[in-house]
């Protein structure tokens, strides 16, 4: 495996690239918990570095939960890293606050760094779900207030910044409310929540870890959704979950999530596309289940992805063995 820790499960991750080194930021939780399902409320953010996306050197933890009563008091979850015009690196991350009954509320925080190694949290949260468009905890029987996995990128016309998020709309069937939320900022500091960039009824209870990627000149939106979180209609049709791609002819949406195509089956999850030093688009994903149905908690080797010549917005992956992962 590309990256694994003996003492901890590893799962969701994201990258920063300083031009010389790839920086991997990853969620981890101690294997001593026994049950991998407990990892979510014990998640911390770690850091590893590589020059080739294959051999990684672990740099250890960089971000943990906040003080009691804060928006990230229980755990810190998935995010993204960008470099602002002030040369500071910013990590936008998810803060989770769990209740005794197991439900949780999510919001977005930010930490800053001059060197990608040492991070300092800034006052937060910087964005939260807005009930004009998005489901809040208690609006349905869904157990969480989904507002997570921020993907931040510059406006293509240099008009500030955009944030895509995993969220749920405040209307529609409970199993079919998954949408891509949107927020905007002129300066990476002040953020305004906007209406979603996808519609309910696409067949997903949530669309996790969104990432905009350009593969061979074509823009796609990557998301992840496993089988239990597909809508009843998709499951009845025999569909299975995993890593999906959605056409993104316009980087700012709208994103036709109903046209999502499965790229990789759910034995892998939270796929991220990154360009290697040759310019080739590579995908990495964490191992979600092994042959025995056990959660391994490791990140696998990178494999190439290409655009499909027949289906716009669809990626075709190839493992080193020549197999296409399904």
Per-residue pLDDT tens listing for the chain (326 residues): 689 999 999 999 999 999 999 999 999 999 999 999 999 999 999 999 999 999 999 999 999 999 999 999 999 999 999 999 999 999 999 999 999 887 899 999 999 999 999 999 999 999 999 999 999 999 999 999 999 999 999 999 999 999 999 999 999 999 999 999 999 999 999 999 999 999 999 999 999 999 999 999 999 999 999 999 999 999 999 999 999 999 999 999 999 999 999 999 999 999 999 999 999 999 999 999 988 889 999 999 999 999 998 888 899 998 656 444 45
DSSP annotation of 205: S
Residue from 159, 312, 107, 325 nearest 221 by CA:
312
The CATH H-level superfamily of 8-317 is: Glycosyl hydrolase domain; family 43 (2.115.10.20)
Cα(85)–Cα(65) distance, rounded to whole angstroms? Answer: 28
Q: What residue segments make up the domains of the chain, in order of their start?
A: 8-317
Q: Which helix (H) or strand (E) holds 90?
A: strand 89-98
- Residue 164, judged by CB atoms within 10 A of its CB (0-12, 13-18, 19+), counts as buried
Q: Where are the beta strands (DSSP E) in 100-177?
A: 104-113, 120-121, 144-145, 147-154, 161-168
Q: Which helix (H) or strand (E) holds 209?
A: strand 208-215
Tokens standing for residue 128: 């939260």
pLDDT at 210: 98
pLDDT at 319: 65
pLDDT at 214: 96
């Amino acid at each position: 495996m590309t990256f694994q820790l003996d003492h901890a499960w590893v799962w969701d991750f994201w990258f920063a690239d300083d031009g010389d080194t790839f920086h991997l930021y990853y969620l981890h939780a101690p294997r001593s918990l026994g049950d991998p399902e407990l990892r979510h409320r014990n998640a911390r953010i770690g850091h590893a570095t590589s020059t080739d996306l294959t051999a990684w050197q672990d740099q250890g933890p960089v971000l943990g939960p906040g003080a009691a009563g804060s928006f990230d008091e229980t755990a810190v979850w998935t995010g993204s890293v960008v470099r602002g015009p002030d040369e500071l690196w910013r990590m936008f991350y998810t803060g989770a606050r769990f209740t005794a009954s197991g439900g949780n509320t999510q919001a977005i925080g930010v930490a800053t760094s001059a060197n990608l190694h040492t991070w300092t949290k800034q006052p937060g949260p910087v964005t939260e779900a807005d009930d004009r468009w998005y489901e809040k905890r208690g609006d349905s029987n869904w157990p969480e207030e989904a507002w997570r996995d921020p993907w931040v990128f510059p406006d293509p016309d240099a008009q500030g910044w955009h944030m895509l998020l995993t969220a749920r709309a405040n209307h529609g069937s409970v199993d079919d409310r998954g949408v891509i939320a949107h927020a905007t900022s002129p300066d990476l500091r002040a953020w305004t929540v906007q209406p979603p960039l996808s519609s309910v009824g696409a067949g997903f209870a949530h669309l996790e870890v969104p990432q905009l990627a350009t593969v061979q000149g074509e823009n796609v939106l990557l998301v992840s959704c496993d089988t239990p979180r597909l809508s009843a209609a998709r499951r009845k049709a025999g569909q299975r979950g995993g890593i999906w791609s959605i056409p993104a002819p316009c980087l700012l949406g709208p994103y036709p999530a109903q046209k999502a195509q499965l790229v990789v089956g759910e034995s892998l999850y939270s796929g991220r596309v990154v360009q290697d030093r040759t310019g080739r688009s590579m995908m990495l994903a964490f191992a979600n289940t092994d042959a025995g149905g056990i959660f391994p908690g490791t990140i696998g080797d990178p494999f190439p992805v290409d655009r499909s010549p027949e289906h716009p917005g669809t990626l075709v992956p190839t493992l080193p063995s020549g197999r296409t992962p399904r």
